[in-house]
Amino acid sequence: MTVVERREIALVDLLDRLLAGGVVITGDITLRIADVDLVRIDLNALISSVNESVPSPFELLPPPCGPGKAVSPCEPEEAL
Amino acid sequence: MTGLRYVYAVCRPFGTPLQSQLTGIGGAPPGLLHHHGLVAVVSQVPEADFGEEALKAHLEDLDWLAATARAHQGVIDALTTVTTPLPLRLGTVFRDCSGVRSMIEAREDDFRRTLERLEGRVEWGVKVYLDPEPPEPAAAVAARPGSGRDYLRRRRESTHAQEDRWQRAEAFAGSLHERLCRYAEDSRLHPPQNSTLSTTPGQNVLNAAYLVPRKHSEEFVETVDRTKGEAPGIRVELTGPWAAYSFTGEGQS
């Protein structure tokens, strides 16, 4: 059993944190991942999309809102 | 050249300068934008890569995503050595610095509260894997089942063995999690990773993140280390210290 192996961080560990963690802010241009809690699934989809061009798991947030603009159902909670 | 502003993290002001050769996304050096007593760590990114359409297209390119994620992490790592950064999610981009300032103003109370909570803490990742099933002894493979009944018996035995291994791995993961929680202020259980994606042999049983005060990190790491050899067929992997990516939200799942 190997413990504490120091080596380059695996991409999957990195994306677990960078795509599912961190503070969510609606920037001027912000990407949103279709289902932030399921990075694993997103990555599956992403990889399939690379291979088989299935629809992208990513979508862009609408630009910071004009009032009365339709709000997408999965607006992040912390969004401004 | 038109540039957008990519924001990596928000921090409290810190005295130590960032290493001079540090580069962020696209090789641009990150700068500090002070506003309202907080610091946004920002670099310029080309609109050609981070404009809406371009970003959308890029995100389907795994190589691009990997390079961007590693550059983002490089900056956060450098920050972690000099302060406790509040990392933002990958891909937070503003038109210009005034956009970044407005964002800070809108969220400052929130940022201060979270920075206070995370001060002096780091995140450690711990994963538990069940090693791939040992290959059947050559004799068993070679010997063809004498009858249908033999075949069924052998299949049943192998299924039971597999269930046992799972149960042992889950029990081990549970007890390890409990032990680690003693040193951690908070923890998150992430969904287990898919072995195809992680390219790690074995099945991922536990994929957890722990928020640990720096002063307890050594004990935490030693506790993980001591699990070495504790359970046959089970592997424990430690990653970190990370910035507290998994603990940036209050009621985050």
> pLDDT of B130-141, one tens digit each?
988 766 655 555
Q: In whole angstroms, what is the distance from residue A46 CA to residue A61 CA?
A: 18
- The answer to whether the beta carbons of residues B69 and A7 sit under 8 Å apart is no
Q: What is the pLDDT of residues A9-39, one digit of tens each?
A: 788 888 888 877 888 887 666 555 443 333 3
Domain with CATH 3.30.70 in chain B: 121-247
Q: Is A39 on the interface with B (CB under 8 A)?
A: yes
Which position has the token pair 């590693």? B70
Q: How many residues does chain A have?
A: 80
Facing B238 at nearest CB: one of A4, A25, A60: A4
Q: Does the beta-carbon distance from B99 to A27 stay under 8 Å?
A: yes
Residues of B in contact with A65 (CB under 8 A): none
Show residues of chain B in contact with A6, CB under 8 Å: none
| Beta carbons within 8 Å of B241's beta carbon, 6+ residues apart | B80, B122, B123, B124, B212, B214, B217
Cβ–Cβ gap A17/B245 under 8 Å: yes
Residue pointed to by tokens 């190589």: B63
Structural class in CATH, domain B121-247: alpha beta
Domains of chain A by residue range = 11-60
Q: Are B169 and B234 in contact (CB under 8 A)?
A: yes
Per-residue pLDDT reduced to its tens digit, B75-104: 999 999 999 999 998 888 898 999 999 999
ipTM of model over 0.90? no
Residue of B89, B101, B210 to mutate, testing the A interface (most A Cβ within 10 Å of its Cβ): B89
Distances (CA, A) of A10 to A6, A23, B16, B183: 11, 22, 29, 25
Of all residues in chain B, the one with the smallest CA distance to A38 is: B191
Higher-pLDDT residue of B156 and B44 is: B44
Number of residues written out for chain B: 253
Give the mean pLDDT of A31-56.
43
CA of B16 vs chain A CAs: smallest distance (Å): 23
B52 touches chain A (CB under 8 A): yes
Closest CB from A10, A17, A46 relative to B60: A46
Q: What is the 3-state secondary structure (H, E, C) of chain B?
A: CCEEEEEEEEECCCCCCCCCCCCCHHHCCCEEEEECCEEEEEEEEEHHHHCHHHHHHHCCCHHHHHHHHHHHHHHHHHHHHHCCCEEECCCEEECCHHHHHHHHHHHHHHHHHHHHHHCCEEEEEEEEEECCCCCCCHHHHHCCCCCHHHHHHHHHHHHHHHHHHHHHHHHHHHHHHHHHHCCCCEEEECCCCCHHHHCCCCEEEEEEEEEEEHHHHHHHHHHHHHCCCCCCCEEEEEEEEECCHHHCCCCCC
Q: Is A29 on the interface with B (CB under 8 A)?
A: yes
For A29, the closest of B51, B191, B234 (CB atoms) is B51
